[in-house]
Amino acid sequence: MKLTLALAQINTKLGDIDANLENHLALAHSAWKQGADLLIFPELSLTGYVLQDLAASVARLPNDQDPHLRKLLQASKDLDMIVGFVEADSRHRFYIASAYLSDGKITHLHRKVYLPTYGIFDEKRYFAAGNSFRAFDTKFGRAGILICEDFWHVSSPYTLWLDGADLFFLTSASPGRGITDEIIGSAQWVQDINRAYSGLFTSFFAHANRVGFEDGLNFFGGSTVFDPDGRLVTRAPFNEEGLTLAELDLAQLRRTRTRLPLLRDEQPELVQRELQRILGK
């Protein structure tokens, strides 16, 4: 089975959902015309990233009553989509969320668990943290979503892997840092861990990062797809807006895992025992 992925490496207007929605719909149409099955938008793609006090005003309940989400749900009848937004719950807590939209429905919603609040980041000041990593079924296989800092904790993809995910969809609004090497320092780190994860979990890892500036912060793009052998399938250009398509041969999962049965030999019960011992101390 083949899956044609499209990575939407976009810039956003800070706090302007109308403008960002328009861009989403245009890209969805373009990706669909190019034959994409699934289009992945970056973290907070509908709102922009450094929201600060804008967070509450751009937050949306995740249902088809919301006029913006309704239009995206409509578009998801043509192709599946992952979109990033600020989710409000009924009690006015705000989450950094990514929703999987398919055939007019939200089939999965991931709330960012790890909210970086150090250095240039201040997410806990504005957002509530999610509390679960759950794999979910798509037309193309079982998948998991992680948002930026989530995937800097190795337990996050590990949990999704044990929950059955073969397809990992990572979204970021990652600010660039480091100017000494061939590429931006933080771009190198992100690429290195995507490569490492795809090989260690013998799974597909697609990462959609945004571009553009918010004040002095630069989002570097360089979105990637790695296959279960840890090989780079495609990489979008750094700093340039655009759609990047990649055709994934899902049969690669069988070939790689036959050669390298890391999933078969994994011992989650051992991990459970040891975690119980460590946490019981």
Partner 1 sequence: MNIDLSINPDLVRDLLTRFLRSEISRTGLTRAVIGISGGIDSALVAFLAAEALGAKNVLGVRMPYKSSSQDSLDHAMLVIETLGIPHKTIPITEMADGLIQKFPEMSNMRKGNIMARSRMITLYDQSEAFQGLVIGTGNKTEILLGYSTLYGDGAHAINPIGDLYKAQVRQLSRAIGVPQPIIDKPPSADLWAGQTDEQELGFTYEEADKLLYLLVDQRYTPEEAIEAGFARQFVETVIRRIRRNHFKRVMPVVAKITTRTVGYDFLYLRDWGT
What is the contact surface with partner 1 in residues (CB under 8 A)?
A: 13-16, 50, 52-54, 176, 179-184, 212-216, 218, 239
Residues 6+ apart with CB under 8 A from 135: 142, 143, 144, 160, 163, 164, 165
Least Å from the CB of residue 211 to partner 1: 9
Nearer to partner 1, 102 or 239 (CB): 239
Residue 165 CA to residue 129 CA, distance in Å, equals: 22
Terminal Cα distance for the chain, rounded: 47
Residues in the chain: 281
Tokens of 88: 């409000």
CB 60 within 8 A of CB 86: yes
Least Å from the CB of residue 7 to partner 1: 20
CB count in 10 Å sphere of residue 230? 17
Nearer to partner 1, 107 or 188 (CB): 188
Least Å from the CB of residue 255 to partner 1: 37
Q: Is 20 buried (19+), middle (13-18) or exposed (0-12) by CB count in 10 A?
A: buried
CA distances from 258 to 159, 238, 251, 268 (A): 22, 35, 11, 20
Nearer to partner 1, 67 or 237 (CB): 237
Nearer to partner 1, 16 or 266 (CB): 16
Least Å from the CB of residue 100 to partner 1: 29
Nearer to partner 1, 54 or 129 (CB): 54
Least Å from the CB of residue 218 to partner 1: 6
CB 80 within 8 A of CB 39: yes
